[in-house]
């Protein structure tokens, strides 16, 4: 009776026990490798699917737009004066330094005095001594000639006295009397001429002897004071030390550093659109607030300048006046660097988009528009630009979202996702 019970108990299976297959492996465990392979295939397919490009967008909107031409410039004193040496001589040291104030007609910049005679080299000295000897010999010759002329004059005067002493008529002809008087007059003139000739030789001899001498120079009456022609400040001292100068040598540069203007070298193609009176913003001058200015003059002649890249450029000087500069701007001096932005075009309201949203295909301007998660390329007509914003004449409406700097992977119809 006990055997049947053991068979029933061994053949009965508990409901919580897993069913096993013929090999004894559960069915779920046999399916695990296939499930892993299926998951790997899903991951590969998901990885190969194109993902939306992450982009940044801007909005087309109506706003004021001002087109400016930006260029580096520098300040300069409006009126500058270069004081030069009026005479040749020995210039004394200039006591002034750049920045010192000067007053017109009162501040003495320097004084110029006469110089001593230059030293003679051996050859020049020998020539000077030979010249002295020559003039001394000529003087002796002139003295002998003068002595002979005086003797002849004495003889002619005695002959004239004898002729005049003859009182009887007919004893002496009129021609003989006239000849005696003329001879006496000629001899007298020769004596005077030789006396003047001797004086000339004496002057030449003194001049020749002066070449050999080096007399001491007296400053009395030999100093020339060079005064400032205008009031202002010393901008630059060209010749500071004591030296021998010639007439016209630059000594000091003077100007008023509070009366400055802005000088900018503008490309000729940009200067064509400018005119006197255009508003100007002066930035990067050292203050937080840009200074206001106005174009005063556009010079008519351009000049060639080599850029940093080695390209020849035609540039024009554009001069700008400051308008009511603040007190902080009074520290600007001569030749300070600034950045000039000249307004050449302005509109109070135009449709604009960020300049980074536009690109060229051939000769046409195009942009990508963000529509329902897709990038759609459209052609537009662009107008003026200030480098940050560009005017859109046609092709867009206010409120349209455009892609900013779209990556190369974005094409027409590509899926895009806007960056948070």
Q: What is the CATH number of domain 67-75+257-345?
A: 2.40.30.170
Whether residue 220 contacts residue 235, with contact meaning beta carbons closer than 8 Å, is answered with no
**The pLDDT value given to residue 284:** 92
Rounded to two decimals, what is the model's pTM?
Answer: 0.60
**pLDDT tens by residue, 131-171:** 888 888 988 988 888 888 888 888 888 888 887 777 555 56
CATH 3.40.630.30 for domain 55-65+349-418, yes or no, is: no
Q: Look at strands 250-255 and 364-371 and give their pairing.
A: unpaired
**The pLDDT value given to residue 6:** 46
Ranges in the chain, pLDDT < 50: 1-11, 16
Give percent helix, percent strand, percent coil of the chain, each to the nearest 5. 30, 35, 35
**The pLDDT value given to residue 2:** 44
Cross-strand bridge partners of residue 331: none
**The pLDDT value given to residue 26:** 64
**The pLDDT value given to residue 125:** 84
Mean pLDDT of the chain: 85
CA distance linking residue 66 with residue 84, whole number of Å: 47
CA distance linking residue 317 with residue 297, whole number of Å: 8
**The pLDDT value given to residue 7:** 47
**pLDDT tens by residue, 133-143:** 888 898 898 88
Alpha-helix runs per DSSP H in 232-298: 268-271
**The pLDDT value given to residue 228:** 93
CA distance linking residue 190 with residue 192, whole number of Å: 5
**The pLDDT value given to residue 212:** 80
How far is residue 92 CA from its own chain's centroid? 31
Q: What is the CATH number of domain 82-115+231-254?
A: 2.40.50.100
**The pLDDT value given to residue 23:** 53
H or E element, residue 347: strand 337-354
């Amino acid at each position: 009776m006990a055997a049947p019970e053991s068979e029933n108990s061994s053949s009965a299976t508990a409901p919580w026990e897993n069913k096993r297959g013929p090999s004894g492996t559960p069915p779920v465990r046999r399916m695990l490798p296939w499930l892993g392979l299926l998951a790997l295939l899903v991951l590969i397919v998901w990885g190969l699917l194109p993902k939306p490009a992450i982009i940044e967008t801007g909005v087309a909107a109506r706003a004021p737009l001002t087109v400016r031409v930006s260029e580096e410039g520098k300040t300069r004193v409006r009126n500058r004066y270069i004081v030069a040496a009026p005479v040749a001589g020995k210039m004394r040291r200039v006591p002034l330094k750049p920045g010192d104030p000067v007053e017109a007609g009162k501040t003495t910049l320097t004084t110029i005095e006469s110089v001593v005679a230059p030293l003679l080299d051996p050859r020049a000295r020998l020539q000077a001594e030979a010249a002295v000897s020559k003039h001394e010999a000529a003087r002796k010759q002139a003295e002998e000639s003068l002595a002979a002329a005086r003797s002849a004059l004495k003889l002619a005067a005695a002959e004239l006295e004898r002729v005049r002493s003859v009182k009887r008529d007919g004893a002496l002809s009129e021609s003989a009397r006239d000849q005696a008087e003329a001879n006496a007059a000629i001899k007298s003139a020769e004596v005077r001429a030789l006396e003047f000739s001797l004086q000339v030789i004496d002057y030449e001899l003194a001049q020749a002897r002066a070449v050999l001498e080096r007399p001491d120079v007296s400053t009395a009456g030999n100093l020339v004071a060079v005064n400032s022609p205008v009031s202002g400040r010393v901008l630059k001292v060209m010749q500071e030390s004591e030296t021998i100068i010639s007439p016209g040598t630059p000594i000091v540069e003077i100007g008023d550093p509070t009366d400055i203007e802005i000088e900018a070298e503008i490309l000729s193609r940009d200067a064509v659109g400018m005119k006197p009176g255009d508003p100007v913003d002066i930035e990067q001058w050292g203050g937080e607030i840009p200074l206001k200015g106005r174009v005063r003059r556009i010079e008519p002649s351009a000049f060639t300048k080599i850029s940093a890249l080695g390209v020849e450029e035609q540039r024009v000087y554009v001069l700008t006046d400051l308008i009511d500069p603040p007190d902080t701007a009074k520290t600007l001096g001569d030749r300070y660097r600034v950045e000039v932005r000249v307004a050449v075009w302005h509109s109070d309201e135009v449709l604009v988009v960020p300049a980074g949203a536009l690109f060229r295909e051939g000769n046409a301007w195009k942009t990508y528009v963000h529509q329902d998660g897709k990038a759609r390329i459209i052609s537009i007509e662009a107008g003026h630009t200030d480098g940050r914003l560009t005017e859109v004449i046609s092709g867009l409406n206010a409120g349209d979202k455009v892609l900013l700097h779209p990556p190369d992977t974005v094409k027409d119809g590509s899926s895009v996702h806007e960056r948070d």
